[in-house]
Amino acid sequence: MTTAPIADRATTVAARATDLSKIYGQGETQVVALDRVSVDFRQAEFTAIMGPSGSGKSTLMHCVAGLDTFSSGSVRIGDTELGTLKDKQLTKLRRDKIGFIFQAFNLLPTLTAMENITLPMDIAGRKPDQQWVDSVIRMIGLSDRLKHRPAQLSGGQQQRVAVARALASRPEIIFGDEPTGNLDSRSGAEVLGFLRNSVRELGQTVVMVTHDPVAAAYADRVVFLADGRIVDEMYRPTADNVLDFMKQFDAKGRTS
Ligand SMILES: Nc1ncnc2c1ncn2[C@@H]1O[C@H](COP(=O)(O)OP(=O)(O)O)[C@@H](O)[C@H]1O
Ligand SMILES: [Mg+2]
């Protein structure tokens, strides 16, 4: 069922995991959360990571994004091997090259939408590229809400601010863990639409963990995880195709 990659797509790798393993605990309580996972995330591609609960989706994302350590294997962001970095360098890489969107929007309540959007760059002491920030704000359609505080915004609007914040510093790659998990379907569709536009129109690279086939259908490609391993991938997914795959997969899970 795996279809060929979209023809003549640029194949620059934004992030790569090679034989990546992550083991929690020891002895009888040991859990192999990732079992020699190898995967590429290409530039200007929108990838969804799917799989049953506990299959290792968050662990994979956290390890590739430099938020968590791994037991063996390697992870590369651009040309940088994460395993070679000291804590301080890793913090800098996360700050400069990676954007994050979480399920909980994680906005600072005392700052306005605009201040939240530029906060990571303010902390890093970097001057925002105003033209870029303007185009991000235009794209997410928040121009008339920039002076509002998070409490004055709906959940969907808050998450759009969080997406703008992730995009604002023009990171090499954006990671989202269930970014629409707290949203109703309409707000979720808006946020997913923006993510997709950021890939199509701005050339962003996005990797999103989701358990929702409708959300996965916004991606260019879906990578399926089970028991800490990649079991399949699908290009140009539709919600129906993804749902069918998950069903077949659930059925297998029950009989084995
Ligand atoms: N901090 C932890 N300590 C021990 N086991 C963990 C920890 N975090 C995750 N796990 C285990 O690793 C496996 C993968 O978890 P996770 O990546 O969160 O799955 P998913 O995001 O697909 O639901 C699960 O079996 C989970 O219980
Ligand atoms: Mg998870």
pLDDT single digits (tens) 125-173: 888 888 889 888 888 888 899 999 999 999 889 988 999 999 998 899 9
- Mutate which of 20, 58, 177 for ligand 1? The one with the most ligand atoms within 8 Å of its CB, which is 58
Confidence of residue 255 (pLDDT cuts 50, 70, 90): very low
Please answer whether residues 6 and 167 qualify as being in contact, where contact means their C-beta atoms are separated by less than 8 angstroms: no
Give the amino acid at 47.
T
As for ligand 1, residues whose beta carbon falls within 6 Å of it are 24-25, 31, 33, 51, 53-59
**Ligand 1 nearest atom to the CA of residue 51, by list position:** 22
Residue nearest to atom 26 of ligand 1 (CA): 54
Would you kindly state where each structural domain of the chain is located, as residue ranges? Answer: 44-69+84-252
What is the C-alpha R_g of the chain? 18
**CATH class held by domain 44-69+84-252:** alpha beta
Please give the pLDDT value at position 256: 43
Residue 243 sits at the vertex; the CA angle it makes with 15 and 19, to the nearest 5 degrees, is 30
Which ligand is closest in space to the CA of residue 34? 1
Burial of 64 (0-12, 13-18, 19+ CB in 10 A): buried
Residue 206: the pLDDT is: 97
Reported as a single tens digit per residue, the pLDDT across 59-95 is: 999 999 999 999 999 999 999 999 999 999 999 999 8
Nearest-ligand number for the alpha carbon of 225: 1
Query: Model's pTM, two decimal places?
Result: 0.89
Task: List pLDDT tens digits, range 12-27.
Answer: 999 999 999 999 999 8
**Ligand 1 atom closest to 22 (CA):** 12
Give 18's strand partners: 74
Q: Output the CA–CA distances (angstroms, integers) from residue 196 to 19, 89, 102, 206, in the order listed.
A: 29, 30, 17, 8
Whose Cα sits closest to atom 2 in ligand 1?
A: 24
Identity at 48, one-letter amino acid code: A
Return the pLDDT at 85.
Answer: 94
Question: What sign results for the dihedral spanned by CA atoms 33, 66, 207, 99?
Answer: positive
What CA–CA distance (Å, rounded) separates 4 from 22?
30
Would you state the structure tokens that stand for residue 11, as one six-digit string? 């194949």
